[in-house]
Amino acid sequence: MTQAIRIHQYGGPEVLNLETVDAGEPGDGQVRLRHSAIGVNFIDVYMRTGLYPLSGFPQTLGMEAAGVVEAVGPGVTGLAVGDRVAYAMVLGAYAGHRLVDAEKLVRLPDGIEERTAAAMMLRGMTARYLLKSSYPVQAGDTILVMAAAGGVGLLLCQWANHLGATVIGCVGSADKARLASDNGCHHTILYKEEDVAARVLDITAGQGVAVSYDSVGQATLMPSLDSLRPTGTLVSYGNASGPITDFSPGVLAQKGSLYIQRPTLATYIRNRELLEACAGDLFEVVASGAVKVTVGQQFALSDAAEAHRALEARQTTGSTILLP
């Protein structure tokens, strides 16, 4: 038996219940993991509220974790009891132990400990596809990162800086501005006090940025678009302020023949080859020291509701993890 956070209906953080469940024995192609740490992400909030519908109830939330293999089912090759592994985009992570398909797991290299892995798999692989696929950042590009002090934002700033880009970060407080600056952000904008697009145009001498990586959603849609250079790209990869609604594609023409993408990590790790390439790039850049993973907050698994409240209130910096 193990403890897990489950929901029986959509709602606020109060619907997160700590329950005792049977993790079970691994079936064909599965392993059973003992989680060391579990990542908390906005996608968990979207699922809890029903913005991203679930297949039914009860449901264990959580899409990212790291731990140790404690049992191996039939047909599994390449993994053994005691191996350290991590995963992302596999529902059911808010638990002390769980079953998971072996093909969804990646082995952790020496030098990356499990709490760090739980804090970086979803966010780090998101940063990787944003920078290398959604808009491939080149040396000399100037880019805008919304929520630059958040879990993905800090990784984006460091990695883009490593690639030779000039990074403008949008943040909500002076403390978050300092954190973003310490993590590769060359210019910061306090969105509560400044006109974002006006500041971007001032920083870029009226040119605008090549891309805006925007996880905020509705509240920053127009500031992002107004910050772009002609034929620039908005990559809207989150809905922290709510989903974008009532958007007319004609706006893209009016503002300079712009592009917009609404991607998801699942597309970029949809098969084993893509997963290994994405995770491999992440492990390499972290192991090199070019990108450092910041665990800003950690909560006990039983305090998952408090973690969600802090995340939704934008009181967090870096990554947030749960400890079973």
Question: What is the tens place of the pLDDT at every residue in 111-142?
Answer: 899 999 999 999 999 999 999 999 999 999 99
Band of residue 218 on the pLDDT scale cut at 50, 70, 90: confident
CA distance 301 to 34: 13
- Assess whether pLDDT exceeds 90 at residue 240: no
Domains and CATH numbers, the chain: 2-121+290-323 (3.90.180.10), 139-262 (3.40.50.720)
Question: What is the tens place of the pLDDT at every residue in 247-289?
Answer: 889 999 999 999 999 999 999 999 999 999 999 999 999 999 9
Phi and psi at residue 186, to the nearest 5°: -85, -30
The tokens for 37 are 């740490």
Q: What pTM does this model have?
A: 0.91
Phi and psi at residue 58, to the nearest 5°: -70, 160
